Structures are given as C-alpha cells and as structure tokens.
Amino acid sequence: MLKYMTLNTVKIKLLNFLTEYYYLIGALFILGIYLSPNIFFQNDAHFLIHDNLDSNVVWYKNLIESGTLFDSNQSIVPNSLGGLPRGCYPSEFNFIILLFWLFPPLIAYNLNIIILHVVAFFSMYVFSKDLIFKNKYHWAVVLVSLSFSLSPFWPSGGISVASQPLLLYAFLTILNKNYHFRNWLIIILVPFYSTLAFLNLFFIPVLFILFLVYSFYKKEINGWFLLAIFLFVVFSVIAEYRLFTMQFIDHFQNHRSLLIHVNSINLNGVIGVSILLFLKSHYHFFVPQLPFIFLFTIIAFCVAEKKQRIFILFFLAVGFLSALLFVLPNWNYLTQLFANNKLFNSITLRFYGLFPLIWFILFSYSIRFMLDKHVRFQLLVGPLFFILIILQFLNFPSKDYYGSDYIENSFYSTYINPQSEISNSFQNYYQTDFFKIVKKNVPPGDFYVACLGLKPEIAQYNGYKTIDGYFYYYPMKHKIDMMQVSEREMKKMGIDNIDNHCDIFCKELSEHKTEIKNLDLNFDKMKELNTKYMFSSVKVLSSQLVNEKVITNGTQVIFVYELI
C-alpha cells in the first residue's frame, strides 16, 4: 500500500511538473530539433565557412597540436603565417580552447554550438521572466526565449551574445541590492566563455552609464555594483591576459597598425549606412527577428501609455546610436583628421554587438505592453511567433546591412540547402580524404609551403605549415615580408595593402586562368621564409619552380612544386 502511494505521489508530482512546464519542455524540444545536425549528424552536417571553418576552427586546432597551449607568449606556434607568437592566440582560460584541447575538432565545435544555444535560451528565460514579464505570461516568456536561442550566433564568439541577458540580469539584480551568490558567479564566469575585444569591452561602458543614471535617480551610490563592474573587468582581462599583455605591456607590433581606411564616406553616407545597419544588423550579431520586432514595436507604441512610448523611443535611439558609433570612424573628415593615429586606424567600435540584447528587451517589453493592454492580443502574438520560428529554421532573412549572408544555421545548411557555397561539412571543406593521398606524396615536415588558389587553412588542418594564411592579429614584420613576396603581382592587380588575409597574390589566378604563365613573385623572399614547396590549384609555368607533381583523386587536383 505504501509503495502504491509512493508511486502515485511521484506520478502526481510529475504530472504537475509537466502541466506547469509543458511550454518550457516543448520549446527545448524544438531547440533540440534545430540542433539535431550538431547532435546526431556531425559528420554530414554543414557549417558556416566564413570566419569559421576557414579560420577559427583551424587556429584552435593548430594551437592545440603545436603543444604550446601553456607556453609563454613568445613561444612560436609554427603552423600559420610562418609561425606566430603564442600570445597572438586565445589564452588557455578560454572555454572554447579547452573544448578543443579535450575533444577532437569536430566534437569540440558541435559541443560549443549546443552549449551556446542552450545558454541563450535560459539566459533570456531568466531575464525576461523575472525582469520584464514579472512571472506573468509564461508562454510568452518561453516563446521569446526560444526565438532568441534560435538566433544564428557566431560560433567563435562563444556566449558573448548568448549570455548578455543573463549578464545584465546579474548586474541589475545587484544594482537592486540582491547580492545572491549566483549573480557574482555569472559575472565571474562569463568572461571565460566570451571575448573582450569582440564584445565585453563595449558592454562595460554601458554598465557604467547605467550606474551613473541609477545613482542620479536614486540619489545614492551602490558600491557593490561598482565592485561587480570591477570584477567583470578584472576577470575579462584575466581570461584574455595574453592579448592584454601583448598589446599593452609588450607593445607587440601587429599588422593592424598598417591597416588603411579604404571605405571613407561623407556625412550622408555615415547616416545612410548607420540606418541600414540599424535596420538589418551585422552578420556576427545578426538579428533575423528584426522585422517582427519592428512590427510588435509599432503595435505596442500605438496602444502603450505615454511613459511606455518614451521607453520604446529610448531603446530605438540607443539602437541607432550603436550603429552610428560603428560607422562614424569611416567618415572621411575623421579619417583625414586622425590619419596618423595608430589607435584610430585600428579601432573597431562594436557597440552594435549589443543589438541582440537591445532588440530583445524592446521585443519583450512590446509584447508585455500589448498583453497588459488586452489579453486578446495573445491571438496575434501566438500565431506571429509561430511564423517567426518557422522562418528562423528556414534562415530567413539571411542578409545583413552589407548584403552578406554569412549566417551560421546548421539546420538550414544541412537539411534544406546543402548545396550552399557558404557552408560545408568538415570532411568536404578540409578535403581530409584527398590530403591522405597528398601526404603520401609530400609528407608534412619542418618546412613551409605557400598556397596558390588553395586556402592555406586547408593545408594547415591537414598538418602542413604555411607562410600565408588568415589571422586577426599577427606580427607587422610578417605582413611586410608577405607584401614583398607578392609586391609585383599586387601592383598588377592595383592592390597596395593586405590585411587579415595574408595570402599569395596572382593576377592570372584572379582572372580564373587554368594555367599560370607569368607568376611574378619574390621567390628569394619566399626561401628566406623557409618555403620549400608551393601547392597550387592550377598548373604554374615558372623557372623558379621544379619537380612538378600532379596529385589527384579523379575529382580534386593539387600541383606541387619545389622552389629552387
């Protein structure tokens, strides 16, 4: 009898739990479907190439396999750009780096994707439930959180965007004198799974402005909030201490000090581009929900009270200001004024990285204003959310303010559009099967190769060291060396500078020639950089290149040459 009562009690509790949380369970099930390529079909799943497979994934793999993860900043990671100082790579405290240290690249990559989307869901759930909807309209809280979690977060940004609502929640609750341990834990841990230069650096001044406004309004100073900001700054620096010491203590001469503003625009252009960015966002911080957010905002503005309308206008103004701050350094007046200022020439004001947070705060409040006005608005909100979530699965819209569609959506790329040129599987993109044949003919060694018409990162992923490559922070000296290598070819193409893409240039290749007859590179400089081979996607005729090997598997081909 006792056993029966115990089982019956468990059933009742389970039923009560399911009744209370069936919206939550349903949303997590939908999120699981969205993440199914990352969970069940990792070998066949297609992932974003730009700023992802073509770069970050290989960087992490190079760092781990070099054995220099815990070495000093001056140790050399040899795989890319002729060898880069260890300090140019993320620190060993970065959670993504630790994933790649613990697991093979494919598993580490997918674990990162799964974790950041789950974090995004609960981050928005906690924030909107407690601070916006005030424990009302639970179904709306769940739908807002689900939509946020389906956003196309940039994988290598970690939870920089996904954790913003949770981070703001922790700071606001401390500001409201709730000093629970979990709030401090959030503030301390988030920096180890996000990036300082990418976003945290621009979150900090917003927090300080928030502190000033609160202090003025309340006529008091919350010292604990200042301590929270201080801890966030300190742990952000600790998490990226290598970048901090390289830049501000060692005064590392990086390639960005030679970057040139080539997109200077007049004041009308500044305003126009800012509006475009405001309306469409940036692909690293993409907000596909914007059309729906604007629709809900317009409806809420029409039904809201005067104070609520001011609140809506405030967030719209903050959003536009964030866009303007990013575009402003490209104003030709400022570029001329600060032409010789190294800091100005290399700075990127990424306040637009706060767009997802700004828009979802506005989104959530607009829904709450509508539902508070009349419960019948749920007949509009529910169906529109259904349409929104379907469109997010279908990757629509996908183009940002610049017309770029570099959006990470494995569900769409794997199941619906696997032929897309902007995504690919690990095996296909890195050509791992083909490179098994290449390595039998030319085993990797301590020498370097130069890549022509082949992404250097593909060669690196398969164990080769390259003098060229793509990196966000590398020595100025190597940039100058590589410009000397390609100087004559760059002149033919009308190019006078290179940036993060430190590649080998060839005018004939840019014209899609199938045979290169006049490759005018500085081969002596290449040999100074310890270059032994050139890997080319097309045949090259040059007296400086000998012992041609044509390696093919029937569908793929690489021409291998030795430098003399």
pLDDT digit string, tens, across residues 292-315: 999 999 999 999 998 899 989 989
Question: pTM for this one?
Answer: 0.93
* Torsion-angle region of 177 (φ positive above 0: left; ψ -120 to 50: alpha; else: beta): left
Give the up-direction half-sphere exposure of residue 463: CA atoms within 13 A in the CB hemisphere.
11
Amino acid (one-letter) located at 242:
R
pLDDT computed for residue 20 by the predictor = 62
Dist. CA 97–CA 89, nearest whole Å? 10
Q: Which residues of 83-95 are buried (b: 16+ CB within 10 A; e: fewer)?
A: bbbbbbbbbebbb
Q: Which of 500, 503, 504 is nearest to 471 (CA)?
A: 500
Give the start-to-end residue ranges of the domains of the chain: 1-160, 165-194+196-239, 259-393, 431-563
Cβ within 8 Å of residue 140, ≥6 positions away: 133, 367, 368, 371, 378, 381
Q: How many CB atoms lie within 10 A of CB 28?
A: 17
pLDDT computed for residue 458 by the predictor = 97
pLDDT computed for residue 347 by the predictor = 62
DSSP-derived letter for residue 419 is T
Dist. CA 314–CA 482, nearest whole Å? 48
Q: Facing residues of 540 across strands?
A: 516
pLDDT computed for residue 256 by the predictor = 72
Q: Which of 382, 356, 357 is nearest to 367 (CA)?
A: 382
Rounded (5°) CA angle 192-193-194: 100
pLDDT computed for residue 408 by the predictor = 94
pLDDT computed for residue 28 by the predictor = 95
Q: What digits encode the pLDDT tens for the residues 48-86? A: 999 999 999 999 999 999 999 999 999 999 999 999 999
Q: Are 106 and 90 in contact (CB under 8 A)?
A: no
Look at the alpha carbons of 273, 277, 279, 280 in this order and tell me if their dihedral is positive or negative: positive
What residue ranges in 233-308 does DSSP mark as E strands?
Answer: none
Residues of the chain with pLDDT under 70: 1-7, 11-20, 257-263, 338-347
Q: How many CB atoms lie within 10 A of CB 189?
A: 16
Cis peptide before 397 (omega within 30 of 0): yes
Residue 309, CA distances (Å) to 279, 297, 366, 558 in order: 20, 10, 10, 62
Dist. CA 47–CA 276, nearest whole Å? 27
DSSP annotation string for 431-469? THHHHHHHHHHS---SSEEEEESS-HHHHHHTT--BS-E
As to burial, measured by CB atoms within 10 angstroms (0-12 exposed, 13-18 middle, 19+ buried), residue 533 is buried
Dist. CA 497–CA 477, nearest whole Å? 14
Pairing between β-strand 84-85 and β-strand 423-424 as defined by DSSP bridges: unpaired
Dist. CA 51–CA 45, nearest whole Å? 17
Dist. CA 248–CA 450, nearest whole Å? 32
